[in-house]
Amino acid sequence: MMELTFWYKGRIKMFLYSTDTRGHKKSQPFPGCRTKTFLAFSQNYVTKVFIGKKDELQMMEEGKEFFKREVLEEFFKVAFGYRDRFFEMADEFETMDFAAMSDEELIKVFTEFTDVVEAGLSLYHQSQHEPMVATEERIVELLSEHFKDPRTTMLTLIEPYELDDINNDEIHWLTLLSEKEELTKEDWLVYMKGCSWNTWNSYDYDALFETYKTRFAEEKGDQQDRIVEMKERKAKHKKEVQVILDKVNSDELQYLVEVIHRTTLGRMRIKPLWAGAEFFSRRMLDEIAKRIGEDVRILREGYQIHEIVDGIKKKTRVSAEELARRREAFFLGFSDGEDFCYSGKEAMTFVKERFPQIVAPPKSSELQGTPASKGKATGRVRILLSENIEKLKEVASRFEDGDILVADMTQPASVVLMQRAGAIVTDEGGLTSHAAVVSREFGKPCIVGTHSATEAFKDGDLVEVDAEKGIVRKV
């Protein structure tokens, strides 16, 4: 049986994970962006993605390529080039008359857009845990000569002291609260362009706007003190980092810290290419759905990219029976040159026979992960899957201070819960993931990369989080 490594999980629509599958087949020439095995298994559109164990080990080894500055600079040149094109297209989409386009013209625009999203997704994986391990471990080696607990020191050192896109998103919102009497649609659209990840898994953007209007009315008032506090916290952290760098006095360490900082900041700059793709292309997808004769939600959830293109060309639709099978179970991917695509009971049977570890239940109520922010906490579990703002509101309504936030991954919109949590535990992620970065900023115990916390625990379970050892267990 082939050894697999869990990579990520979430309520990820086929529009995106079929794009990610294509991207990994083509491969960008950077660590984390190329695999020989990429397997996505979905049930009711909750998707788990696995790569081969050999891919994981290869990524860890290839991560040493970032020790060379020319590789790092070339990566960001390529990644930000795609990002620039993505936002150029997003701006163009606001005024494009998609209804007036011929089928050929619409396919051309759609294909270019999904090619950019595909590249962005592939490049985003550079900042996942595996390609960063080599840099993190070398930092620990350099620190071990000067500090008794080099791993804890490393966690302080790798935290960026510059404002990232999440911070800028918050500052933008706080400024609106301070300066505007009401939230207009125009102001909201400008705001969402900077934090399009908050549209993740939303379908009704008018309803989403109304949700933000309600939030605005509840929070309105002078928020300048919070902006000052955030900037002061970053300035204080910059001094803490500089003290460590001065003590070690190593050009190599300084460069490796730069690698981590730029990767962490770059991760959020690249994220809109997938997390905001459906929002920015909403008018185009509406027109495509109309031409195919399909509900746009079904188009996003149940169609692969090539099926959307075929639908425009031939006016064909995926049958209702096949869509029902895909909702039940869907398996898509490749391994060592072999392609897979199965749905329904056929998908379940194939996965159980060929890759049983994908559907195996968690073996224990005690899980091991990576300590991303040190500390200990005990509390009641609150499960948060990567759904939309409305789902977040539902979880928030029963979330109590000190609860343990257990998520497949955290998104910027979930920061409000992270601030109240006793600890944060995630299925996926590494030391540069959103959960890790925000937890360290707030001083919250955090364990990332448990692979199955959202399955091993249930809402209301009492758990103990030991983020010193990376263990979370049911009490």
Q: Would residue 276 count as lying in a domain?
A: no
Of all residues in the chain, what percent carry a pLDDT higher than 70?
99
The strand pair at 37-43 and 46-52 is best described as antiparallel
User: 179 and 197, same structural domain?
Assistant: yes
- DSSP of 51-91, one letter per residue? EEHHHHHHHHHHGGGGGSHHHHHHHHHHHHHHHHHHHHHHH
User: 316 and 433, same structural domain?
Assistant: no
Does residue 194 have a pLDDT over 80?
yes
Q: Would residue 237 count as lying in a domain?
A: yes
- What's the pLDDT at 20? 81
User: 377 and 290, same structural domain?
Assistant: no
- What's the pLDDT at 122? 86
**pLDDT tens per residue, range 339-372:** 999 999 999 999 999 999 999 887 778 999 999 9
Helix (H) or strand (E) holding 260: helix 251-270
- pLDDT band, residue 464 (cuts 50/70/90): very high
One-letter amino acid identity for 223? Answer: Q
Residue 454 belongs to a domain with what CATH number? 3.50.30.10
Task: Count up the domains in the chain and report the number.
Answer: 3
Alpha helices in 271-422 (DSSP H): 272-275, 277-280, 282-292, 296-302, 305-314, 320-328, 344-354, 389-397, 415-420
Token pair for residue 390? 């409305």
The answer to whether residues 178 and 219 touch, using CB atoms and an 8 Å cutoff, is: no
The model carries a pTM of: 0.89
**Contacts of the segment 231-238: beta carbons below 8 A, 24+ positions apart:** 231/163, 233/441, 234/161, 234/162, 234/163, 234/167, 235/161, 237/159, 237/161, 238/161
Mean pLDDT of 393-406: 92
Please give the Cα distance from 348 to 147 (Å, whole number).
51
Any idea how long the chain is?
475
- What's the pLDDT at 21? 81
**Greatest mean pLDDT among 189-198, 199-208, 282-291:** 282-291
- Comparing 362 with 290, which gets the higher pLDDT? 290
- What's the pLDDT at 155? 93
Does residue 58 have a pLDDT over 70?
yes
- Comparing 232 with 415, which gets the higher pLDDT? 232
- What's the pLDDT at 1? 80
- What's the pLDDT at 9? 86
Report how far apart the first and last C-alpha atoms of the chain are (Å, whole number): 34
Token pair for residue 82? 């795609």
Does residue 417 have a pLDDT over 80?
yes
- What's the pLDDT at 387? 62
For residue 192, give its domain range: 131-271
Mean pLDDT of 298-307: 93
Please give the Cα distance from 64 to 430 (Å, whole number).
17
Mean pLDDT of 281-287: 96
- What's the pLDDT at 15? 79
User: 162 and 265, same structural domain?
Assistant: yes
Instruction: Compute how many other C-beta atoms are within 10 angstroms of the C-beta atom of residue 82.
Output: 20
Q: Would residue 99 count as lying in a domain?
A: yes
- DSSP of 162-216, one letter per residue? S--HHHHHHHHHHHHHHH-SS--HHHHHHHHHHTGGGGTT---HHHHHHHHHHHH
User: 339 and 262, same structural domain?
Assistant: no
Q: Which of 21-25, 107-111, 167-171, 287-291 has the lowest mean pLDDT?
A: 21-25
User: 171 and 142, same structural domain?
Assistant: yes
User: 291 and 228, same structural domain?
Assistant: no
Q: Please, is 229 exposed, middle or buried when counting C-beta atoms within 10 Å of its C-beta (0-12, 13-18, 19+)?
A: exposed
Listing from the earlier edge strand, what are the strands of the sheet with 46-52? 4-10, 46-52, 37-43, 330-335, 338-343
**Greatest mean pLDDT among 140-144, 203-207, 450-454:** 140-144
Please give the Cα distance from 168 to 28 (Å, whole number).
29
Q: Which of 26-35, 41-50, 81-90, 106-115 has the lowest mean pLDDT?
A: 26-35
Q: Helix, strand or coil for residue 243?
A: helix
User: 114 and 28, same structural domain?
Assistant: yes
- What's the pLDDT at 27? 63
User: 371 and 351, same structural domain?
Assistant: no
Q: Would residue 308 count as lying in a domain?
A: yes
User: 71 and 52, same structural domain?
Assistant: yes
The answer to whether residues 83 and 270 touch, using CB atoms and an 8 Å cutoff, is: yes
- What's the pLDDT at 141? 97
